[in-house]
Structure 1
Amino acid sequence: MGAALSEASWQAMARQSAESEEEWASRLGPYLSTATQDHPESLTDYVKRSASSSTGQRFRDGLECMVSGMDQMRSMNS
């Protein structure tokens, strides 16, 4: 479910931009670089895993990412 929603969201955003998926991804690259500048290996590792993993594994990876992010947000607020 999580991987399917991510893929559907990615495709919908690419379509709405009136660019090809490749053009849109290329334009998005600098933003991703900025967002992950403190931990660039995390995005690289995620992309590599996603390209060769099952839907179930992508779901688990996405869930782990969400839980980790929520945990960091919670610790920032306390």
Structure 2
Amino acid sequence: MRLSRQVIDAVQRLVTATVDQRTASWGLATVTAVNGNGTVDISTPRGPVASVRRLKSYSTPAVNDVVKVSRNSDGNWIVDGALA
């Protein structure tokens, strides 16, 4: 039995997405809003993420700050701090 190209492509996309979701990673983002509850909204290459907790060492966040962010395997984000 020969699998169609569409089925092969669909399986490959599913596997890639599954592995990507379960992998911890870090990257850069831009702060788009500072919230009063200790969180910031960020813009990442994956898209916008709202209400991300920040480390206490990043005590004075500002809109347009470029920040280092981490994402764990469950998909939770944290802002580690701003770049100089």
Do the two structures share a fold, i.e. TM-score over 0.5? no
Q: Which has the higher helix share?
A: 1
For this structure pair, what is the TM-score category when the shorter chain's length is used for normalisation?
Answer: under 0.3
Q: Which has the higher contact order (CA 8 A, sep 6+)?
A: 1
TM-score by length of 2: 0.23
Higher strand share: 2
Could you say which structure has the larger radius of gyration?
Answer: 2
